[in-house]
Structure 1
């Protein structure tokens, strides 16, 4: 028995595979790729941020940071991560400079 797939059916199959690959339970704002070739920003967020800022960056113990790039520029985000403040612990000693910069670059792009 031969199966014939129309272009619509083929498109829908490709779209379904693409949507499945996106990981439905992953937050849309979570970084999927590294900002720097040597830094996995998604892993950094999971390790240092998710417990307070949530899996959708929606906040919880910490504030909502879904559009943090509208409120703070990259330098301000670096300073906030390094020094902490307002209930946030400092990560200056915990993160490498390259990791901190990559995370701040990604966060500054959330607008």
Structure 2
């Protein structure tokens, strides 16, 4: 395999794994994986272990949905994987927490920005 083909293959793998890791931010997708018993398959559990490298700074910077990394970490625990399959309420709780984060994070950011600018103007 020549260098250009290897680069193309590596890029495709990077994009595929990035897209998959980001899909883990969706609690309903996690529930779907659990309901299909995919989270019980040893090969899939090993794949989730392999994907831990996305938590490293050099890779995490490409993640748009930080909850994906949190869910990836939780998926390392068998009890979490089992709970996703048995308890619909867990999916609802994850979704609600995610919604609350998205609803409020910008307000905190802009409030802080306005406060800083007011202090500069008053000085």
* TM range, smaller chain: under 0.3
Greater relative contact order: 1 or 2 (C-alpha under 8 angstroms, separation 6 or more)? Answer: 2
Determine which structure has the larger helix proportion and give its number: 2
